[in-house]
Chain A
Amino acid sequence: MPIEAIRKVVSILFGAGLTLGCSLLLGWLILARLKGLAQTITKRESLLFSLAIGAAALSSWVFLLCAAGLVYDAVLWATADLISLAWWRGRRTLTHAPDFRPEQEGHEPGDRFWLLLLAAIAAFYAYLYLPNALAPETTADGYTYHLGLVGRYYREHGFPVITTNIYAYLSQGTEMLYLFAYSFGRHSAAKMVHFGFFLATLAGMLLFARRHGALAAGVVAVVLYGCSPVVGPTATSSYNDCALAFYQFLTFYGLVIWWKQRTAQWLAIVGVLAGFCFAVKYTGGLAIPVAMVVVAAGAWKQSRSLRDPVRAVLLVAGISALFVLPWTLKNAWFVGNPVAPLYNRVFPNPNVTVQWEDAYVEWARHYSHSPPPRSEELAEAPLELTIRGGKLGGMLGPVFLLAPFALLAWRRPTAKPLLAAAVICALPWWANVGTRFLIPSLVFVSLAMGMALGALPGRWRYALGCLVLVGHSLSGWPDLLLLWHSGQLWRLNEIPWAAALRTEPEHEYLQRRIPYFKAAQILAREAGPDDRVLSLEPLAEAYFSAELQVSFQGARNEDLYHGMLAAIEPDLWPARQLRVQWREQTLTGFRVVQRNDHASSHWILSEIQFARNDDSVDTDTRWDIQATPFPWTAARLFDNNPLTAWNSGQPLHHGMAVQVTFPDALTINRAELIYPWGQYYSELDYFGLTMEGKWVPLEAWSDLRVRPISAMEMKAWVGESLRRAGVGFLVINTEGGGHNVVAPHIAKEPAVWGLQEIGQDGAVRIYRVKGT
């Protein structure tokens, strides 16, 4: 093993180890401050909760460093040193906490058998998972935005204002930990942190089961969850679903302990854990109201007065808010929408359009742009999720077809909350049907299934348990899976020890595993950290330093893309010229109001020009322009360039309006409205602002003519508009789908589009933007 390879592997393990270690120590410090807490849990449980609480605290600290622009190696080293020092000074109080004897529901004979079975399966799966976690990042979301953003924060020493990537708006609690690890061990260290959360979840499941006298159920659950084909690639990548599963499970775990202990300390812990669920992933935010309801119900049940439930709920909500507010404030400040990229109707902003949101929400509900009826989808879901997995990005494994048998555990006291948690954690799946979104629920389903198995009579329990566990673990093994499945799904498909140990050079492995990795290498060579790259195709942005703007991942990017599409799509040409005339009047403003409604068409206007008879009025930079909705691009209506357009960004409806007011009154009798040919549904009313300051309807008549359009000019504008937007490079895929519909046209004559080709990677073309 070359020395470079050893050095790399050591740095990865060190980065991940330091992150998880600091989390653990920080968590210990925090738990030690909660008096009496150590008496309510075992030492192993305290380790588990220390990791969870400490990671949440460390993540928040890294968030603050990012906000302050202080993400430097020295600061992170100092953080690690301070945490270690603080722990060293306070270690005695922690280590002397008495062990806690759990209140067991019953004794399980034969624990040794189950543990041996687990050890055998775990050994095989460690052989599969460890190299995948240690290898360079090759999973799609990992090498694009998860680590792409982490890399950018690291290079820019904090949060740059990103308004061109909707993934930068999501909460990134886990990514803050990845950033800590990344600074020491780069991409694979971040992956190992996520893998650490996965392992901690398995440990937590065992501890939870042991606490409730059902270790066998814990073993079954660990194998069911840990060997699920969708969990493998997730746990060993820099995704965050397994981290969310960990936090949602520990929130549940904490609530179960609180339900029995009823101490304020546990309310605080639940508040941290539930709050951090939101910080890990928006969908995890569900944990907060659920925790509030549970503590309210518990406190009410105990005291039968309003005061205690209110105090408990406020405590949980208040502490949770500490983990919610940073992300929402960041979004409010950077994007103009605290919960971007969603709810843009409530929080209109220039960076995400309602149009994008509607399309994304609809796509996420089906993973298809032309879905079958919902009832058909739901009828297919059980098989798609458990056996097929091709459409929804992975499968849970055939054993989960037996999930309804979890109801057999109904009589066990812990089964009911487990089943309730399973249902609650599965709710986000309704909004995003990706199999990964069921991973948090899978933890609870697995435990409940384990308990159901434990409810079987003696021999049946062992026989069926062995059958289920061995069958499940074998059926998901990469090579064996191909015996019964086409393999066309998201899964682990190799055991990359050479890549993990870096005896296979990193770039060779990446080249082999990542589509169009050569394009990323070209950009790494040609584009610097200050350059912007617009791409019609997601790229491995984690492996180059330029800022990537994927055309469909932000309103500004889509706006640039629409300029490209307009050059080849005549319906988008500003070819309609509507001459609106009225009796000559002196006006201080002009307003156009939409009076039609249409569900699938937007209102687009390209230019407005005023005239008195045949004398056109020069545009004045003092004019005030307003538009409802999406006012931010309305200045394009008066830039004397019909190739730029204002777009409502949402379906056309009556009451949408564009208006301009003049500081000096104008005597005019004509307005020319230029807009795209495809605006078939616009029906407009016109108003003038009188000298008395009153908007009055203009008694106007109009005639429409066709404006001649030069396609060459449209194409030339594309390069120029990219240049003006600060985009230095364009990447297209001539064989790609979606936005790449323009790619073959560009590839045919790039110079006409103001572009110069600098490289190719298969069907992908990379251009330098030249403009006109």
Chain B
Amino acid sequence: MRHAFIGAFVAAAALAACSGEVVVHPPPPEERWVSPYPPPLESWVEMNQPDADRYIVSGVREVHVQGQRWVDRTGVIQVLAPPFLDLNFQLVFTLPAPVAKKAAAITLKVAVNDEPFGTFTYAEAGTYEIKQAVAAKSLPWDRNTNISLEIEPLSDADWKPFELGLLIKSIGFQP
């Protein structure tokens, strides 16, 4: 009798210990978390993408022409850089012929989070691509990175509002 009792205990313990096949199900919609935050920015923005406005801080016209947007003398764009990869700063832009002609040459100053990143000079109209490596771990990953573009003409001609600038097609950081 006693051994039967113990045997039953052992069997019960063994049964209880067997986890069997566990099947779970997706939670119902009302239990799912809805983030109060907007989707994070990417590290790279094409000016013709539908949500490009989210990347523009200042100085970039809303209207885009043939996938490009006009940047005034100064423009600021924000992106979110991933921390995992070695990144290059990349900018594809067009220097319009009237601007190139009147300015003789322009100097494009790029700053990242208010720190000078590079200075580039162009004398002729055309489409250009800047690609320059970013120092490792120099970009923050817990907040957006501001990229500032500042255009300076070589000549000291008078410039009307919105006359000096360039058209950018895409900007940001890519591996």
The proximity string for A residues 338-365 relative to B, scoring 1 for CB distances below 8 Å and 0 otherwise, is 1000000001110000000000000000
B82 within 8 A of A: yes
Q: Please name all residues of chain A whose beta carbon is closer than 8 Å to the beta carbon of B26 when the two chains form the complex.
A: 619-621, 623, 625, 635, 638-639
Q: Which residue of B lies closest to A349 (CB)?
A: B19
A706 within 8 A of B: yes
Q: Which residue of B lies closest to A343 (CB)?
A: B17
Given contacts A332-B13, A336-B17, A337-B17, contact A706 B82 (CB under 8 A): yes
Cα distance A708–B78 in the bound complex, in angstroms: 13
Q: Are B142 and A711 in contact (CB under 8 A)?
A: yes
Q: Please name all residues of chain B whose beta carbon is closer than 8 Å to the beta carbon of A635 when the two chains form the complex.
A: 24-27
What's the least CB distance linking B83 to chain A, in Å? 4
Interfacial residues, chain B to chain A (CB-CB below 8 A) = 2-3, 6, 9-10, 12-13, 16-17, 19, 21-28, 31-33, 35-37, 39-43, 80, 82-85, 141-143
Cα distance A159–B84 in the bound complex, in angstroms: 47
What's the least CB distance linking B78 to chain A, in Å? 12
Which stretch of A295-303, A450-458, A493-501, A626-634 is in the interface? A626-634
Q: Are B32 and A639 in contact (CB under 8 A)?
A: yes
Given contacts A325-B9, A624-B23, contact A709 B33 (CB under 8 A): no
A575 within 8 A of B: yes
Given contacts A329-B13, A710-B80, contact A631 B24 (CB under 8 A): yes
Partner of B83, one of A328, A570, A720: A570
Partner of A720, one of B6, B17, B33: B33
Task: Provide 11 A-B residue pairs closer than 8 Å at the C-beta atoms, listed in order of the A residue.
Answer: A314-B3, A318-B2, A325-B6, A332-B16, A333-B16, A338-B13, A338-B16, A570-B141, A639-B33, A708-B43, A713-B37
What's the least CB distance linking B166 to chain A, in Å? 27
Cα distance A632–B21 in the bound complex, in angstroms: 10
What's the least CB distance linking B5 to chain A, in Å? 9
A517 within 8 A of B: no
Q: Which residue of A lies closest to B85 (CB)?
A: A706
A253 within 8 A of B: no
Q: Are A329 and B12 in contact (CB under 8 A)?
A: yes
What's the least CB distance linking B17 to chain A, in Å? 5
Q: Which residue of A lies closest to B82 (CB)?
A: A706
Q: With contacts A347-B19, A570-B82 known, what are 5 further pairs, Cβ within 8 A?
A: A626-B21, A635-B26, A643-B33, A708-B43, A711-B141
Cα distance A639–B42 in the bound complex, in angstroms: 23
Q: Please name all residues of chain B whose beta carbon is closer than 8 Å to the beta carbon of A709 when the two chains form the complex.
A: 40, 82
Cα distance A635–B84 in the bound complex, in angstroms: 28
The proximity string for A residues 651-665 relative to B, scoring 1 for CB distances below 8 Å and 0 otherwise, is 000000000000000
What's the least CB distance linking B139 to chain A, in Å? 12
Q: Please name all residues of chain A whose beta carbon is closer than 8 Å to the beta carbon of B31 when the two chains form the complex.
A: 639
A641 within 8 A of B: yes
Given contacts A713-B35, A713-B40, contact A621 B141 (CB under 8 A): no
Q: Which residue of A lies closest to B140 (CB)?
A: A711
Cα distance A92–B50 in the bound complex, in angstroms: 96
Q: Which residue of B lies closest to A622 (CB)?
A: B25
What's the least CB distance linking A229 to chain B, in Å? 40
Interface centre among B6, B26, B32, B141 (most CB of A within 10 A): B26
The proximity string for A residues 714-742 relative to B, scoring 1 for CB distances below 8 Å and 0 otherwise, is 00110010001000000000000000000
Q: Please name all residues of chain B whose beta carbon is closer than 8 Å to the beta carbon of A575 when the two chains form the complex.
A: 82, 84
What's the least CB distance linking B130 to chain A, in Å? 21
Q: Please name all residues of chain A whose beta carbon is closer than 8 Å to the beta carbon of B83 when the two chains form the complex.
A: 570
Q: Which residue of A lies closest to B25 (CB)?
A: A621
Given contacts A325-B13, A332-B13, contact A677 B23 (CB under 8 A): no
Given contacts A575-B82, A621-B27, A706-B85, contact A328 B13 (CB under 8 A): yes
Q: Please name all residues of chain A whose beta carbon is closer than 8 Å to the beta carbon of B82 when the two chains form the complex.
A: 570, 575, 706, 708-709
